[in-house]
A and B are shown apart, each in its own frame.
Chain A
Amino acid sequence: MPLIEYRDALNQAFAEEIERDPNVVLMGEEVAQYDGAYKVTKGLWKKFGDKRVVDTPISEAAFIGMGIGASMLGLRPVMELMFWSFATVTWDQIVNNAGQIRYMSGGLINCPIVIRGPANGGTNVGATHSHTPENMLASVPGLKVVSAATAYDAKGLMKTAIRDNDPVMFMENTLLYGEKGEVPEEEYLIPLGKADIKREGRDITLIAHGRAALTALRAAELLAAEHDISAEVIDLRSIRPLDEEAILASVRKTHRAVLVDENKPFCGVSAQIASMLQEKCFDDLDAPVLRVTALDAPAIYSPRIEPKQLPNPQDVIRKALSIC
């Protein structure tokens, strides 16, 4: 299988879906002629031209709203936010329009849009550029939220997101864009609402999404090598819809769970899962459900300090050992 970068896996997904469906249009700041601020859309404007790949002014409220409006008419806009942090500028469009229009129209209007971009800290760009809004978005019924940890997942999830008939918020990660992974040449789709068991284990379940899933995987390797603990790693992949079944099945097997989450702790994605675990498999748990999250403060700039603000494998191991 070819080994390709996460960004190129996304790029393939866009190219394939643009070719497959004439209603797919890519839009955002610098996505066309500049090839994207992070080169995720590289070469697509050259290949598909002005109609399919469109540069917008710095007007997030207007262009995201425009994409939502166009999707009501059946287009399938794939909208890039250069950073998900900039969603704050267009929050009304996303939450009130994309999120509510189907419900408020009694199901008469659909909104098959994808809004995508990186949502991560860890790159020393300061608090305004380091938000991880997947938890906030997932708290809006009507929106779907997806987060890809690997090149393979990025491509398969993106293709599904584009074909989905609801608004899908797609979380990428600037720290992962350059990471390589195996991506098959033949077409594949990854369903929304299905978690991925990235490593099987017996003693404890580590649950994560996005880059935190890789942190959990690394922790699992170390737990096995150094502590003889067999950890199962579940990558949510899709946050809403959520694969409740897979999570519960794993925890019923291992009886222990540590949640790893680059969200801040307060109402982070992991908080929702922790609540679900105590409600639905309390009797199966041999220990309290623990969490490793981003430190609960705005993202500090200082390049030597910021890494400590995000979950790392050692934090996960420490928490795991405290309950194993």
Chain B
Amino acid sequence: MDTATKSSDHAHAPINKNLTPEAKIQLLRDMLRVRRFEQQALKQYNGGKMGGFLHLYIGQESVAVGTCSLMGDDDHVITAYRCHGHSLAVGMTMNECMAELYGKATGCSKGKGGSMHFFAPDKNYWGGHGIVGGQTPLGLGLAYGLKYKGLKGAALCFLGDGAVNQGCFYESLNMAALFDLPVIYIIENNGYSMGTSLQRSSVVKDCLAQRGEAFCVEWAQANGEDIYEVRAVTQRAIERAHKESKPTILEFDTYRYYGHSVADAKHKGGYRSEEEIDAYKRDHDPIQLFKKRLLEERVITEAQFDEISDASKAEAEASAQFAEESPLPSETSIFEDVYYEVDRQTEAGRTGKHFFND
């Protein structure tokens, strides 16, 4: 196990020590962009601009931004349905993400996927997956592909504290260790899977990541609210993946401020207390904590923070405007993107009947 050093020390971890002031500000900006984007999304959702589910990531920003900030050319990311933070963190634009939420043709998935299904393979980002745990074998597959191709990369596969109880995760851990695959499973432990607390869903000895011991997979648990710590711990796992082609499980303690999805009315005063939520916001907010840190380090001023925050808000508002003005997908597009061969009208796509309406 990696020994988690005290939170205050992570600024001195090699991966953080040499960060330029600009790079630090960028981390802050990236977290703020996620938050402002989602606040805007929530507003528009409540205004009836979207359908289906909206799972907000607010409160967890340091995990996606911290981990994805370490991605090199051959590092890849895949996650579950609470995917907006990861999507922006890997470099997707607010416009394409917001338009997807609006179900518009300009969305990252042309309005076909919705909130849970953002993708950007050009940014090494493989989604956005709605079936709990379903992405964990895919993360394994990305790692297999990297190794097969002889690339020095890692597959960062995110999952929730509830998702750890899907069988395919354990099948994947065994194979990751058996085949020496450079996959990093990142458990974002926000304490709840829908309305079920961790204690009610999982048998835990010390922590969830520790389950890796059964498969001889290295693991570490860390404080997800501190972006320096997230980066320090993740960097060690990435090095293990790159240098030794070995898997790791990381577990970051974190918290979601909103309900499981927007429809989850019971989250406040139901399965968790208002005090618990307030305490987290007050004492553990990843953005506020990092802001405080950067003020102490004299990397930013209050005014600069406000400027970044306002710019992020303006960008989010503009993305809603963009989404609003974008065209809907055409009805015929329902039948596009089902088969590669049909889309391209190759010989294979022209042979035999592929669709069965009339």
Contacts and interface: CB of A to CB of B under 8 A. Distances in A.
A and B associate: yes
Interface of A: 29-30, 33-34, 37, 55, 57-62, 85-86, 88-89, 123-129, 264-266, 293, 295-298, 300-306, 308-309
Contacts of B212: none
B162 A57 contact: yes
Contact of B195 (A30, A62, A304): A30
A55 B200 contact: yes
Nearest to B165: A57
B148 interface: no
Contacts of B130: 125-126, 128-129
A302 B329 contact: yes
A300 B131 contact: no
Interface in B166-187: 166-168
Contact of B52 (A61, A123, A295, A309): A123
B194 A29 contact: yes
Given A128-B131, A296-B356, A304 B328 contact: yes
14 contacts: A34-B195, A34-B270, A57-B162, A57-B201, A58-B166, A58-B201, A124-B52, A295-B335, A301-B52, A301-B109, A302-B103, A304-B328, A305-B329, A308-B331
B202 interface: yes
B234 to A, nearest CB: 25
B193 interface: yes
Contacts of B335: 295-297
B91 to A, nearest CB: 22
- By CB atoms of chain A within 10 A, which of B116, B195, B200, B335 has the most? B195
* B114, B116, B270, B331 — most chain A CB neighbours (10 Å): B114
A301 B51 contact: yes
A163 to B, nearest CB: 30
A248 to B, nearest CB: 25
Contact of A295 (B134, B195, B196, B357): B357
Nearest to B201: A57
B131 A266 contact: no
A190 B149 CA distance: 60
Rank and list the top 7 A-B pairs by shortest CB-CB distance, nearest first. Answer: A124-B51, A302-B103, A303-B51, A301-B114, A34-B195, A124-B52, A302-B111
Q: At the interface, is chain B mostly helix, strand, loop or mixed?
A: loop
Given A126-B116, A303-B51, A58 B357 contact: no
A80 to B, nearest CB: 13
A34 B355 contact: no
B52 A300 contact: no
B117 A86 contact: no
B196 A34 contact: yes
Contacts of A309: 334
A124 B196 CA distance: 25
B50 interface: yes
Nearest to A271: B356
B13 to A, nearest CB: 34
Nearest to B48: A303
Nearest to A294: B357
A301 B333 CA distance: 12
Given A55-B196, A57-B202, A295-B357, 17 more contacts: A29-B196, A61-B166, A61-B167, A86-B131, A86-B132, A125-B116, A126-B112, A126-B130, A127-B117, A128-B116, A128-B117, A129-B130, A265-B356, A297-B355, A300-B333, A305-B111, A305-B329
A37 B53 CA distance: 13
A89 B112 CA distance: 23
B166 A265 contact: no
Nearest to B103: A302
Interface in B101-144: 103-104, 109, 111-114, 116-117, 129-134
B163 interface: yes
Given A55-B200, A125-B52, A296-B357, A302 B116 contact: no
B295 interface: no
Contacts of B52: 123-126, 301, 303
A297 B271 CA distance: 38
B350 interface: no
A168 B117 CA distance: 32
A57 to B, nearest CB: 4
Contact of A303 (B50, B163, B333): B50
A210 to B, nearest CB: 19
A306 B328 CA distance: 11
Given A34-B195, A295-B334, A126 B201 contact: no
A297 B338 contact: yes
Contacts of B194: 29-30, 34, 37
Interface centre among B112, B116, B167, B271 (most CB of A within 10 A): B112
B110 to A, nearest CB: 8
A10 to B, nearest CB: 19
A298 B338 contact: yes
Nearest to B336: A297
B112 A302 contact: yes
Contact of A301 (B117, B131, B134): B117
B131 A89 contact: yes
A180 B53 CA distance: 24
